[in-house]
Amino acid sequence: MRLILLGPPGAGKGTQAQRLVKKYGIVQLSTGDMLRAAVAAGSPIGLRAKDIMARGELVPDDVVVAIVADRVDQPDARKGFILDGFPRTVPQAVALDRMLSAKGLKLDAVIELKVDATILHKRIATRVAEAAARGGALRPDDKPEILRTRIEAYREQTAPLVDYYRLQGALKAVDGMAPIAEVEGAIDGALAGLPKRAARKKTAPKPPVAKRKASAKVADKKPTRRRPARVSAARGSGRKEASRGRSTLRTTKSRGG
């Protein structure tokens, strides 16, 4: 399963991504997390991204595209992934399409969390207050004035992706303002409607063809001579019946009858 979670800051992408990770056993690829790790590590990418992120602006496309291209090649992403915070611009989406088709991969769905801009500030204020109460580190870009820039960046540069993916037929819009359980249900409903290959979770794999043939042969096999007619008749009513039949046979035999 390969998904994109699309939505403005504070739409709940992270929360939903974590749940989908558990549900489908796939990895969450958050470009925001990767960039923050790069900043913390002081890597060349981090040094390039640091000030841009602090201002709430978007890091150049080539930087994030290179990070994602590298990340989707990691073994843990083979089973599938959720892109959280990527793509954020049309050129990023085009680069992603090219990247996936070069790898012979396909996106299964793009889930848009629709949220009214007016509640985003409130949500982030709650997130900041909760993080502070836990004694956790605050994100420097969660400050109200920076948040305004981030929301504006979403409106101008990322929102056009809604049409981009709608035209591809991949878009699944969900009301992100509903209570979390309802959002979860709506996402699950949207994913359940996907073609089988995409929505399949951990179903038991079919046995290999050779094994299937072998078991078909066993099923076709005529009963051995030792199996009396009574036992064959009991087969349809379950294994217990059948084994009772067999033990009757043994008893009868041992009695020499």
Q: What is the footprint of ligand AMP within residues 186-245 (CB under 6 A)?
A: none
Minimum CB separation from ligand AMP for residue 206, in Å?
38
- Adjacency order of strands within the sheet including 81-84: 27-30, 81-84, 2-6, 109-114, 171-175
Minimum CB separation from ligand AMP for residue 86, in Å?
4
Q: Interface with ligand AMP includes 9 (CB under 6 A)?
A: yes
Query: Among residues 66 and 180, whose Cβ is nearest to ligand AMP?
Result: 66
Q: Interface with ligand AMP includes 88 (CB under 6 A)?
A: yes
Query: Among residues 8 and 245, whose Cβ is nearest to ligand AMP?
Result: 8
Single out the residue of 54, 70, 161, 43 nearest to residue 111, CA to CA. Answer: 161
Minimum CB separation from ligand AMP for residue 115, in Å?
14
d(CA 4, CA 80): 11
Q: Interface with ligand AMP includes 95 (CB under 6 A)?
A: no
Q: Where are the alpha helices (DSSP H) in the chain?
A: 13-24, 31-41, 44-55, 61-71, 90-102, 117-134, 144-153, 160-168, 180-192, 196-199, 209-220, 229-234, 239-254
78 is a catalytic site residue: no
Q: Would you say 195 and 116 are in contact if contact means Cβ atoms under 8 Å apart?
A: no
Q: Would you say 39 and 49 are in contact if contact means Cβ atoms under 8 Å apart?
A: yes
Q: Which stretch binds ligand AMP (CB under 6 A): 51-59, 109-117, 180-188, 247-255?
A: 51-59
Of residues 53, 96, 174, 187, which one binds ligand AMP by CB under 6 A? 53
Binding footprint of ligand AMP on the chain (CB under 6 A) = 9, 31-32, 35, 52-53, 56-59, 64, 85-88, 92, 141, 150
